[in-house]
């Protein structure tokens, strides 16, 4: 392989193996990786990211029912490999419009083996087929040979295609519902025999098409209806049905009734399945992201409110402490006032006693002054004052 090149800041390699999928890599007894089936090698620069995309994309198609338990969409899986949604949409378009058309269209000149090559038609024949809306449903043997074939018409109604077998040599019936690109909706598959002792085998919405098996090139589509719906856009898809319990005898006559609706205009369903639906998932993811952001914002507001509440609690606690201190001080002051009242009352009582004593002494003095003896001795007191001077 030549050295990689740079194309618009995208790392590319030349030559490039576009079919480098997990199914085409095997390990030998020494755990050495060996690449097989390298027929789709292009001698031009191809982005390495596109090759990685094709590997993961083929893996997603084959194991989608299992992978959806871990990833909501192909976009989410590819994002783990640093392939964003815009690149995925671009690569899906390239895959559909370039590579698949190149491999399975008229430009494919590699299929030279008559057993495996498909019938080629010119543009006018193709146009007639599109106008007629015809397709073929087939029954295959284990080795891929066509046992029965019936013509169907693509329209908006469910139609029955009936296969009759004079005898059946295998326990497994392989059904090819369509032989071209189409969107297929199967309402029911019913199989019964002319042996009245045998129960019929039926697959429908009632049993959720339980136990029906299908090839990995069938792209199952989930929808709101009750049909078994899928896309067929490359090799003919196959359905496998076990009829062993119908075979009391190998000479038993078997009738198979396939009730289906087919639309040969695949483009809108392809977009719906891989781009439209994924875009819808992206919208849902965006809404979930927005809701998560809103919830995160509300959580932050709640935390802020809790902080404010905590501050208020601290302030209330501080004020409560201050109030308690003030209450204690008021109590002490009240006790002091009570003591002062007692002291005042004591002082009032003492003052009253003093006033009574003063009044008593004043009365006594007045009696002395008004007495006869005080008046008789007045001259003597006067002489004493004179002598004293």
Residue 291 inside a domain? The answer is no
Which one of 86, 120, 154 terminates a domain? 120
Flag whether 369 is in a domain. no
Range of the domain at 195: 122-265
Instruction: Classify 269 in phi/psi space as left (phi over 0), alpha (psi -120 to 50) or beta.
Output: alpha
- 145 and 248 share a domain? yes
Pairing assessment for the beta strands 239-242 and 213-214 based on DSSP bridges: antiparallel
Choose one of 85, 120, 155: the last residue of a domain. Answer: 120
Domain boundary among 82, 98, 120: 120
The DSSP call for residue 251 is T
More confident residue, 255 or 385: 255
Same domain? 198 vs 242: yes
pLDDT in tens, 57-103: 989 988 888 888 889 889 999 999 999 989 899 888 888 777 776 66
Residue % of the chain over a pLDDT of 70: 79
Query: pLDDT tens across 113-143, in order?
Result: 344 445 566 666 666 665 667 889 999 887 7
> Residue 120: its pLDDT value, please?
60
Tell whether 138 and 253 lie within a shared domain: yes
Q: What is the pLDDT of residue 7?
A: 47
Tokens 């709101």 found at: 224
Question: Are 149 and 93 members of one domain?
Answer: no
> Which of 166-175, 241-250, 320-329, 364-373 shows the lowest per-residue confidence on average (mean pLDDT)?
241-250
Cβ atoms within 10 Å, residue 161: 20
Q: Are residues 61 and 168 in the same domain?
A: no
Partners of 10 in the β-ladder: 7
**Whole-angstrom Cα Rg for the chain:** 53
Question: Which of 13, 15, 23, 19 minimizes the C-alpha distance to 40?
Answer: 19
Residues 131 and 257 in one domain: yes
Give a yes or no: residue 227 inside a domain: yes
Distance CA 137, CA 115 (A): 19
- Domain count for the chain: 2
Q: What is the pLDDT at residue 122?
A: 65
Query: What pLDDT was estimated at residue 119?
Result: 58
| Residue 190 resides in a domain | yes
Residue 136 lies in a domain: yes
Q: Which two tokens stand for residue 359?
A: 């009044």
pLDDT tens figures, 19-50: 888 888 888 888 888 888 777 888 888 889 99
Examine residue 285 and state whether it is found in any structural domain, yes or no: no
Q: What tokens were used for 64?
A: 């989608």
> pTM higher than 0.85, yes or no?
no
Residue 363 lies in a domain: no
108 φ/ψ angles, rounded to the nearest 5 degrees: -80, 110
Mark whether 9 and 102 lie in a shared domain.
Answer: yes
Task: Output the pLDDT for position 248.
Answer: 58
């Amino acid at each position: 392989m030549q050295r990689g090149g740079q194309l618009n800041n995208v790392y590319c390699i030349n030559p490039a193996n576009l079919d480098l999928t997990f199914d085409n890599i095997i390990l030998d007894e020494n755990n050495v990786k060996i690449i097989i089936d390298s027929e789709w090698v292009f001698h031009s620069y191809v982005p390495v990211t596109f090759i990685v995309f094709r590997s993961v994309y083929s893996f997603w198609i084959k194991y989608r029912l299992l992978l959806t338990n871990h990833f909501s969409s192909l976009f989410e899986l590819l994002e783990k490999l640093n392939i964003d949604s815009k690149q995925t949409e671009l690569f899906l378009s390239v895959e559909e419009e370039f590579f698949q058309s190149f491999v399975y269209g008229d430009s494919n000149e590699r299929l030279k083996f008559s057993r495996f090559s498909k019938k080629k038609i010119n543009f006018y024949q193709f146009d007639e087929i599109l106008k007629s809306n015809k397709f073929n449903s087939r029954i295959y043997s284990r080795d891929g040979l066509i046992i029965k074939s019936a013509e169907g018409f693509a329209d908006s109604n469910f139609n029955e295609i009936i296969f009759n077998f004079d005898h059946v040599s295998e326990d497994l019936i392989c059904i090819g519902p369509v032989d071209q690109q189409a969107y297929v909706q199967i309402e029911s598959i019913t199989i019964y025999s002319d042996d009245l002792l045998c129960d019929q085998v039926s697959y429908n919405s009632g049993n959720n098409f339980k136990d029906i098996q299908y090839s990995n090139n069938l792209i199952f589509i989930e929808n709101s209806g009750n049909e078994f719906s899928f896309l067929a856009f490359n090799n003919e898809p196959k359905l496998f049905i076990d009829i062993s319990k119908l075979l009391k005898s190998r000479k038993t006559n078997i009738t198979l009734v396939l009730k289906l609706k087919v639309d040969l205009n695949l483009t809108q369903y392809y977009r719906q399945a891989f781009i439209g639906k994924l875009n819808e998932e992206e919208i849902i993811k965006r809404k979930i992201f927005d809701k998560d952001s809103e919830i995160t914002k509300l959580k932050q507001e709640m935390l802020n409110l809790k902080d404010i509440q905590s501050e208020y609690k601290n302030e209330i606690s501080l004020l409560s402490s201050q109030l308690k201190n003030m209450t204690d001080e008021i109590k002490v002051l009240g006790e002091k006032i009570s003591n002062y009242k007692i002291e005042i009352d004591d002082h009032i009582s003492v003052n009253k006693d003093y006033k009574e004593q003063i009044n008593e002494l004043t009365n006594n003095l007045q009696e002395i002054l008004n007495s006869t003896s005080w008046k008789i001795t007045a001259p003597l007191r006067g002489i004493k004052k004179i002598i004293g001077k």
